[in-house]
Amino acid sequence: MEIEELSTEQKIKHVQDTLFVMSGKWELPVLIAINAGNIRFKDLQRSVPNITTKVLSKELKDLEINKLVVRTIYNTSPVSIEYRVSPYCKSLKPLVDEMIKWGYNHRIEISK
């Protein structure tokens, strides 16, 4: 797929597909936190500022459906559950890096 060959409508469609998965307030913050090594629910809740239990639980389910997070249940007593980013999730790195850079620069630009 060559971006320059796409029509305006096709570009909009692909961007909207990405936004549909990624544009919520929490998907990327949760992924960044898991990727940083917070693999248990309690650690995640601590590392993502202001997220509620209910929202974090829903986000983790949605991220699993989108094949971005893998949930593993260990048959210990009590049962323990770990969340990890999937190999496919690594495909988001260039996008997330661009978002980090742009957000950083935009704050500087807007305060000029």
- Which residues, listed in sequence order, are joined to residue 80 by a DSSP beta bridge? 74
Q: How far is the CB of 73 from its own copies (least distance, A)?
A: 24
Q: How far is the CB of 53 from its own copies (least distance, A)?
A: 18
Q: In the range 29-88, which residues lie near its own copies by CB under 8 A?
A: 29, 32-33, 36, 38, 47-49, 66-67, 88
Give the C-alpha separation, 110 to 112, whole Å.
Answer: 5
Q: What Rg, from alpha-carbon coordinates, does the chain have?
A: 17
98 contacts its own copies (rule: CB under 8 A): yes
Q: Which of 8, 76, 77, 111 binds its own copies (CB under 8 A)?
A: 8
Q: Which of 40, 61, 90, 106 binds its own copies (CB under 8 A)?
A: 106
Give the C-alpha separation, 26 to 22, whole Å.
Answer: 8
Closest CA to 41 of 60, 16, 67: 60
68 burial level (CB within 10 Å; 0-12, 13-18, 19+): buried
Residues that bind its own copies (CB under 8 A): 1, 3, 6, 8-9, 11-19, 21-25, 28-29, 32-33, 36, 38, 47-49, 66-67, 88, 91-92, 94-107, 109-110
